[in-house]
């Protein structure tokens, strides 16, 4: 048990910090919902960051740390499934990855090399042609798409499907961990400078306590996500995803309340994190689905 | 970073479990109804003596004080296993966690020689004379006075909600030697000193757990003072940082959650609603566990206690709360004669958010020190 980064983990964390530093600002002309980080994705490809889970010195824990770190950026790219799920599959599959659950719109579907298709209890893999997908306008701060055709879906065996579910949960939790932290950071900054009744909002105990509770939740999500990434255990993954979706549900509400009308504006950018989390709240059956999985794996 | 226990840690946990298996009596579940009870206090003296003989009471203490300089992970594994078993060390956990280490750091040679060896043998029980009727969370406003008269102090005042005072042999007492926050001093006070009156307060948390302690012209020599006059705040800050992560409440909460689920499953009553609630309580226990580990890790690496300790404390309050709520809703008979362990856990769980700094105080600390939000005006 050692919660301090080792030299390899520190090196990759430092490299990611350096890379991420180029993408921390939102272009002034951007007033949209999903800020797609095409350049970020190119940099990650060029640096072979999508493969760090396969490097023995780094592994899945370093990949989860990377997902968490990069999720804090205002821009988004398909990172989590490529870094965490893709290395768990026996065959080499082209990225970007997308997830389509029960026919609903999915993140990064347009341009996806591989699509995980969940239909009830069944999980399969598809590689849709460009004319089988279409973009969808949405409130979510990810580029969303919908399957318009019927691509061939290769069903996965039960053990493969279980692996996919586990790592989808780890990816979801790791990404939410980063999104929570970024949303909290932005809100804390606002509470420190925004004055009402003659003093900063952050001096009011009603808000301080709520933010503190949000911080406790976010820290807990991070620890559970990292542990699940280390163990790869189905129960740990379900636990992490449950706590992530639970915590995100609460924190999204709280940070928007605290940001007030300013947080409603697209120029404030809070939505770039909170409306990404909203897209993740329904994955794998949402909180009810995760709770059922926790009960099945942890209370057999 | 990794989440594996090394061989030494695994072996140590096995040793502790084997000790518990061999040394907890058959009626332990009935006995474990409150660490302040007479029955458990008597048992704990015997149990801690046996623990000490086995080298398992204070392994993390320096060798010169009866330990073997084991690292904080060993101390925490020990605490986890003890707490998960219902804390058979009773109130002596305080000696092991923070009173002993505080005396090692701040005590005079005489104080160390007098008090530390009995702790290391498992033969002493302390109480913590902190809270007063008008000084709970606002501890700095305490009024108990220690007035100096030549080379003695005369102590007058009252403490309240004092755990273990009914059976304790020594009190770690905070008293005012001059006005203001900087005017508080610590006294190591034998409880048989004339002028001390202890009254048990009937409570919902278990037999013999909390007390009022009155001090009427209690005279102690200057040598009973720990550290310098007015140094209490600095010492207590260090002591409480040891205390805050010292109790792995999640370990018992988690075990009680699994016990409650097992009862429900046996009765074929573990339906979807109970499962969802149990899942959340389990998540809360594991969050508390990992926060606690992160604080231990900081100690192992020689880092100062971070504001994360307060986050860990708050997460522990959450886990105690969710497990208690689960039991009340789904295994209500446990609180009505159905299960002594679940009952005892429920009684003590309420303490998590109140003792050693209320949960709301932790939230203040998190807001100021972790989030760096501006302070409230005073």
Residue written as tokens 């005006």?
B377
Residues sharing a CB contact under 8 Å with residue A232, sequence separation 6 or more, in sequence order: A60, A88, A166, A167, A170
Instruction: Give the separation between CA A244 and CA A183, rounded to whole angstroms.
Output: 14
CATH 1.20.120.50 at B7-124, yes or no: no
Q: Which residue of A has its CA nearest to B8?
A: A1
CB-CB neighbors (< 8 A) of A299 in chain B: 258, 261, 265, 270, 275, 278, 282
Name which of A113, A122, A47 is nearest A86 in CA terms.
Answer: A113
Decide if B276 and A292 are in contact by the 8 Å CB cutoff: yes
Cα separations (Å) of B197 from B34, B170, B200, B218, B289? 22, 13, 10, 10, 39
Decide if A291 and B280 are in contact by the 8 Å CB cutoff: yes
Q: Is the residue at A278 inside a domain?
A: yes
- Total tally of structural domains belonging to chain A: 1
- Residue A4 contacts B, CB cutoff 8 Å: yes
pLDDT of residue B243: 63
The 10s digit of each residue's pLDDT in A194-241 is 999 999 999 999 999 999 999 999 999 999 999 999 999 999 999 999
Instruction: Give the separation between CA A8 and CA A72, rounded to whole angstroms.
Output: 21
pLDDT of residue B349: 87
- Of the pLDDT bands very low, low, confident and very high (cuts 50, 70, 90), residue A284 is very high
The 10s digit of each residue's pLDDT in A248-275 is 999 999 999 999 999 999 988 999 999 9
Q: Is the pLDDT of residue B367 over 70?
A: yes
Stretch A163-175: mean pLDDT: 98
Cα separations (Å) of B212 from B132, B169, B202, B295, B307? 9, 15, 11, 33, 32
Decide if A61 and B1 are in contact by the 8 Å CB cutoff: yes
Considering only residues B33 and A118, tell me which one the structure prediction assigns the higher pLDDT.
A118
Considering only residues B314 and B91, tell me which one the structure prediction assigns the higher pLDDT.
B314
Stretch B319-337: mean pLDDT: 96
CB-CB neighbors (< 8 A) of B374 in chain A: 192, 199-200, 202-203
The 10s digit of each residue's pLDDT in B278-320 is 999 999 999 999 999 999 999 899 887 788 889 999 999 999 9
CB contact residues (below 8 A), chain A span 83-112, against chain B:
none
Nearest-CA distance A5 → chain B (Å): 5
Q: Is the residue at A39 inside a domain?
A: no
Q: Is the pLDDT of residue B207 over 80?
A: no
| Closest CB from B3, B261, B314 relative to A216 | B314
> What per-residue string of b and e applies to B60-84 under the rule 16 or more CB within 10 Å gives b?
bbeeebbbeebebbbbbbbbbbbbb
- Of the pLDDT bands very low, low, confident and very high (cuts 50, 70, 90), residue A167 is very high
| Closest CB from A2, A184, A246 relative to B2 | A2
Domain that holds residue A212: 159-298
**Which of B75, B269, B286 is best to mutate for the A interface (most A CBs within 10 A)?**
B286
- Of the pLDDT bands very low, low, confident and very high (cuts 50, 70, 90), residue B245 is low
pLDDT of residue B304: 79
- Residue A191 contacts B, CB cutoff 8 Å: yes
Residue B59 contacts residue B53 (beta carbons within 8 Å):
no
Q: Is the residue at A31 inside a domain?
A: no
Nearest-CA distance B309 → chain A (Å): 11
What are the boundaries of each domain within chain B?
Answer: 7-124, 128-230, 245-370
Nearest-CA distance B1 → chain A (Å): 5
Considering only residues B33 and A42, tell me which one the structure prediction assigns the higher pLDDT.
A42
Q: Is the residue at A219 inside a domain?
A: yes
Q: Is the residue at A261 inside a domain?
A: yes
Decide if A1 and B9 are in contact by the 8 Å CB cutoff: yes
Give me B231's structure tokens. 């140094």
Nearest-CA distance A131 → chain B (Å): 41
**Which of A3, A169, A214, A247 is best to mutate for the B interface (most B CBs within 10 A)?**
A3
Query: Which CATH superfamily groups domain B128-230?
Result: Butyryl-CoA Dehydrogenase, subunit A, domain 2 (2.40.110.10)
Domain CATH for A194:
1.20.140.10
Number of H helices, E strands in chain A: 9, 9
Decide if A209 and B360 are in contact by the 8 Å CB cutoff: yes
CATH number for the domain formed by residue range(s) B245-370: 1.20.140.10
Residue A77 contacts residue A178 (beta carbons within 8 Å):
no
Q: Is the pLDDT of residue B31 over 90?
A: no
CA B234 to chain centre: 19
The 10s digit of each residue's pLDDT in B103-137 is 999 999 999 999 999 999 999 999 999 999 988 88
**Which of B7, B274, B279, B364 is best to mutate for the A interface (most A CBs within 10 A)?**
B279
The 10s digit of each residue's pLDDT in A127-164 is 999 999 999 999 999 999 999 999 999 999 999 999 99
Stretch B21-26: mean pLDDT: 91
**Which of A189, A212, A291 is best to mutate for the B interface (most B CBs within 10 A)?**
A212
Q: Is the residue at A263 inside a domain?
A: yes
Instruction: Give the separation between CA B239 and CA A174, rounded to whole angstroms.
Output: 35
Residue A292 contacts residue B275 (beta carbons within 8 Å):
yes
Q: Is the pLDDT of residue B244 over 60?
A: no
**Which of A215, A237, A238, A240 is best to mutate for the B interface (most B CBs within 10 A)?**
A215
Decide if B311 and A216 are in contact by the 8 Å CB cutoff: yes
User: In residues, how long is chain A?
Assistant: 300
Sheet hosting strand A144-147, strand order edge to edge: A106-107, A144-147, A133-136
Mean pLDDT of chain A: 96
CB-CB neighbors (< 8 A) of B4 in chain A: 1, 230
Decide if B372 and A295 are in contact by the 8 Å CB cutoff: no
DSSP A149: S
Decide if B371 and A188 are in contact by the 8 Å CB cutoff: yes
Give me B320's structure tokens. 């105690």
Stretch B323-346: mean pLDDT: 93
Nearest-CA distance A124 → chain B (Å): 27
């Amino acid at each position: 048990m050692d919660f301090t980064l080792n030299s390899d983990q520190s090196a990759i964390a430092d490299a990611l910090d350096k890379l991420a530093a180029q993408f921390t600002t939102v272009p002034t002309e951007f007033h949209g919902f999903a800020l797609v980080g095409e350049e970020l994705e190119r940099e990650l490809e060029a640096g072979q960051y999508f493969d760090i889970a396969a490097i023995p010195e780094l592994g899945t824990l370093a990949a989860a740390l990377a997902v968490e770190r990069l999720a804090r950026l205002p821009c988004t790219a398909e990172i989590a499934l490529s870094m965490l799920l893709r290395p768990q599959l026996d065959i080499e599959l082209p990225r970007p990855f997308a997830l389509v659950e029960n026919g609903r719109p999915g993140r990064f579907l347009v341009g996806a090399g591989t699509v995980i298709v969940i239909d009830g209890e069944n999980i399969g893999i598809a590689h849709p042609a460009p004319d089988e997908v279409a973009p969808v306008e949405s409130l979510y701060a990810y580029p969303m798409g919908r399957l318009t055709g019927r691509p061939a879906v290769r069903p996965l065996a039960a053990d493969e499907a279980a692996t996919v579910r586990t790592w989808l949960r780890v990816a979801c939790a790791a990404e939410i961990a980063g999104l929570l932290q970024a949303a909290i950071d932005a809100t804390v900054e606002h509470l420190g400078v925004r004055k009402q009744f003659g003093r900063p909002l952050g001096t009011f105990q009603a808000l301080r306590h709520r933010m503190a509770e949000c911080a406790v939740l976010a820290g807990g999500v991070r620890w559970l996500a990292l542990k699940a990434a280390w163990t790869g255990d189905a129960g740990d993954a379900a636990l992490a995803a449950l706590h992530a979706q639970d915590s995100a549900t609460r924190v999204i509400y709280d940070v928007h309340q605290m940001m007030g009308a300013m947080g409603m504006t697209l120029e404030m950018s809070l939505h770039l994190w909170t409306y990404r989390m909203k897209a993740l709240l329904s994955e794998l059956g949402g909180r009810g689905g995760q709770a059922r999985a926790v009960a099945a794996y942890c209370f057999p | 970073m990794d989440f594996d226990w090394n061989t030494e840690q695994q072996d140590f946990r096995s040793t502790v479990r084997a000790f518990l298996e061999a040394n907890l009596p058959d009626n332990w579940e009935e006995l474990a109804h409150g660490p302040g009870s007479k029955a458990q206090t008597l048992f704990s003296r015997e149990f801690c003596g046996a623990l000490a003989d086995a080298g398992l009471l204070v392994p993390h203490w320096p060798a010169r004080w009866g330990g073997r300089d084991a690292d904080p992970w060993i101390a925490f594994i020990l605490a986890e296993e003890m707490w998960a078993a219902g804390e058979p060390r009773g109130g002596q956990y305080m000696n092991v966690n923070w009173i002993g280490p505080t005396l090692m750091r701040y005590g005079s040679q005489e104080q160390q020689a007098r008090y530390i060896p009995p702790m290391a043998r498992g033969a002493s029980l302390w109480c913590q004379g902190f809270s007063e009727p008008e000084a709970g969370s606002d501890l700095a406003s305490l009024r108990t006075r220690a007035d100096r008269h030549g080379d003695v102090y005369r102590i007058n005042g009252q403490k309240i909600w004092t755990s273990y005072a009914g059976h304790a042999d020594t009190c770690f007492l905070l008293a005012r030697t001059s006005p203001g926050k900087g005017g508080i001093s610590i006294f190591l006070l034998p409880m048989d000193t004339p002028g001390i009156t202890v009254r048990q307060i009937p409570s919902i948390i278990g037999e013999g757990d909390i007390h009022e302690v009155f001090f009427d012209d209690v005279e102690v020599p200057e040598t009973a003072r720990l550290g310098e006059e007015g140094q209490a705040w600095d010492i207590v800050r260090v002591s409480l940082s040891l205390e805050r992560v010292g109790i792995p409440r999640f370990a018992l909460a988690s075990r009680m959650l699994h016990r409650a689920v097992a009862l429900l499953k046996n009765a074929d009553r573990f339906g979807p609603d109970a499962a969802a609630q149990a899942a959340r309580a389990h998540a809360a226990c594991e969050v508390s566990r990992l926060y606690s580990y992160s604080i231990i890790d900081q100690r192992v690496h020689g880092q100062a206690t971070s504001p994360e300790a307060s986050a860990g404390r708050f997460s522990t309050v959450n886990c105690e709360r969710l497990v208690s709520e689960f039991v009340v809703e789904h295994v209500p008979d446990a609180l009505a004669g159905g299960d002594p362990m679940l009952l005892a856990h429920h009684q003590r769980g309420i303490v998590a958010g109140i003792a050693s700094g209320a949960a709301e105080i932790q939230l203040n600390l998190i807001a100021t020190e972790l989030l760096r939000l501006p302070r409230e005006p005073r």
